Structure 1
């Protein structure tokens, strides 16, 4: 067990037993691939008694060494995940949140490990499955139907009718935190500001609903992962993020996440909501998606450059920015 010491293992076994009952023995701990912003461990346990009787695989999600400003803390992410689970959205079952940083070095939460494949490049090479794409649309609609005014989600920032402009202002602030200038991204934000749609409906958005964060088990969705960016926004933000060219993993012709047709994705969403999708507004949010991903990528790279984390994946993330900038220029008609 190289990832944790025997002392840490004992502390973690004690916490699991206290929260879930029974006696817990950790058999193995290993890092999970993916999750470039947070740290995820898969934990094999044997439990005697309690709600996890028998041998189980769990996922422990904790803070990385450094963070990006747009990411929520683990406690809030856990509450979002638990709310989604209670609302019959397909997510891993959340078990508990621990705020004590002395157990594994930072606050963490524990959830079930769902089966399937999440790797975007691998999924985008599989045969088109329009039924799956429709299911992804329906599942997103269920997320947007989650009541967000509960006490449990009181930490969510309430937005005004100008929430799109507030989003643009937030991304400008994040650019200003970076050491270098990025004029094309500034141009993109100015275009978005000039062309912002009028009043939009506000819903709970996942804000990272895309291929790569969706666990696919064969031909079905088994769980939506990574809720750290979730917040209130227009539903078209999630629709545009999923369909944005930057999240098709090379399968450009498959406009719904590199998996299938936009028509099937929209059809699944509309069948659940009964509301027609405005393609023009989704296009606007696709431009916003490219700007946002560029800002996030720059902050991830800065985690490496600033010395916070010596992680090659983080260092290489900024290499996607020129392609994102070119797409922003193309979509706004400047090239």
Structure 2
């Protein structure tokens, strides 16, 4: 971010916050923004509601995107709803919805301490000895999120509430795969299995739909912020649980089945502590299969953007290669579920 852009953002933020003086002394592009860009801003703020603030994060669109993701205006509203519900999220500070300042809409939020790097988090031996347990904290956090239920006029952009979230997800995934130039039988077979084994629908709640290691911040073993709300929507609460536990988001730490950072038992216990009741945990493997098929389809769509020549990118090309792993995972996951059923 050049000096001229920093100056216009500072001037805009001045008017938004009632400050007497704001100077953006530095801006650093943070890693991990394949779909959005995140800029760490060094600030000098005097007066107004942000008086004394030293750092914040500006979030805006990156060059690449995913069609199903929300824009920055909608994401700011989702972040605001989570903050108001008492979730551990960075406080949303200001929204520029028009793109007239920098050429793209953006919002500014409080900086969360720590790291979101999944390979650091899943290899941090200190996490297993933390007295509270990160997985348990995340379980509690998920319940706070799932207490946000329709009707919510302020979240009208999420569309109608699905009567059967699993059926809707399956239909969406068929559409994704049908849009590709060739067939992927293992993922298609996984979708058919999901159709035939679809559980009875439960009441839809607000789900993050990308709640995984890599999309939350941790400092000293404690959760400091849930990030990246661009895929949130009304769904079955088990969609978030299954996505978090799916093997593709353990980053090689398969023995820690809850996101590569803890046990399922701790994740579930944290959820139950906050909710005062439990979900039907026996259905989580079903939602893990759906998570794996979904990630495989997304990976293929990303890879096709490169392969088609529409957007040449080594990152998109490598993402597309991930689909093969998801195909194998789908076959192995379903085989394990069927073996367990046969032995009951």
CA–CA separation in structure 2 for the residues paired with 1:21 and 1:148: 34
SS at match of 1:96: strand
Matches within 5 A, 1:241-260: 241-260=243-262
Superposed displacement of residue 302, structure 1: 3.2
**When the two structures are aligned, how many residues end up with a matched partner?**
332
Q: What's 2:5 paired with?
A: 8
Structure 1 segments, 4+ long, off by >6 Å, are: none
CA RMSD, Structure 1 to Structure 2 (Å): 1.8
Answer 1 or 2: higher relative contact order, Cα 8 Å, separation at least 6.
1
SS at match of 2:74: helix
SS at match of 1:95: strand
Superposed displacement of residue 307, structure 1: 4.8
Superposed displacement of residue 107, structure 1: 0.9
Matches within 5 A, 1:152-301: 152-301=154-303
Structure 1 unaligned blocks of 5 or more: none
Matches within 5 A, 1:57-72: 57-72=55-70
SS at match of 1:215: strand
Q: Write out per-residue CA displacement over residues 186-219 of structure 1, whole angstroms, 9 at most, x where no aligned residue.
A: 1111111111111212111011111111101112
Q: TM-score, normalised by structure 1?
A: 0.94
SS at match of 1:40: strand
Q: Write out per-residue CA displacement over residues 24-56 of structure 1, whole angstroms, 9 at most, x where no aligned residue.
A: 111111111012211111111111211222352
Query: Contact 2:133–2:262 (CA<8 Å) still a contact in 1?
Result: no
Q: Write out per-residue CA displacement over residues 67-98 of structure 1, whole angstroms, 9 at most, x where no aligned residue.
A: 21221111111100001001100000001211
CA–CA separation in structure 1 for the residues paired with 2:332 and 2:209: 23
Q: What's 1:17 paired with?
A: 14
Q: What's 1:118 paired with?
A: 116
CA–CA separation in structure 2 for the residues paired with 1:167 and 1:285: 11
Superposed displacement of residue 167, structure 1: 1.1
Q: Write out per-residue CA displacement over residues 257-292 of structure 1, whole angstroms, 9 at most, x where no aligned residue.
A: 111111011011011112223233111000000011
Query: Contact 1:67–1:303 (CA<8 Å) still a contact in 2?
Result: no
CA–CA separation in structure 1 for the residues paired with 2:85 and 2:304: 37
Superposed displacement of residue 114, structure 1: 0.7
SS at match of 1:333: helix
Moved more, 82-91 or 19-28: 19-28
CA–CA separation in structure 1 for the residues paired with 2:273 and 2:313: 43
